[in-house]
Amino acid sequence: MISRFQWLAAILTLILALSAATVLAHEAPARSNPADGSVIPTAPAQITITFPGELDATGSS
C-alpha cells in the first residue's frame, strides 16, 4: 500500500518533471553550414547556424 507521503512525492515529482519540459524548449536550427550530418575532411574555418526566429539572450553569460 502506498502512503500519503509517497503519493505526495510522486505528484510533486510529476509536476516538477512537466514544468521542466517548458524550460528545455529551445528553438531548433533551421539550417547550418556545414550541413548537419555532413562529413568533411578538415575542420572548417567558420561554422554558421541559422535559426528560424529571434533568439532570446536573456540569462546567457
12-56 pLDDT, tens per residue?
A: 999 888 776 655 556 788 999 999 899 999 999 999 999 888 877
pLDDT of residue 44: 92
- 18: in domain: yes
What is the number of structural domains in the chain? 1
Q: Which parts of 4-58 fold into alpha helices (H)? A: 4-23
DSSP 8-state symbol, 49: E
pLDDT of residue 2: 78
- 20: in domain: yes
Domain of 42? 4-50
pLDDT of residue 10: 93
CA distance 22 to 17: 10
- 39: in domain: yes
Report which residue type is found at 28: A
pLDDT of residue 21: 60
pLDDT of residue 50: 92
Provide φ and ψ at 20, rounded to 5°: -70, -25
pLDDT of residue 59: 66
- 60: in domain: no
- How many residues would you count in the chain? 61
- 11: in domain: yes
- 37: in domain: yes
- 32: in domain: yes
All three cell numbers of 19: 514544468
- 58: in domain: no
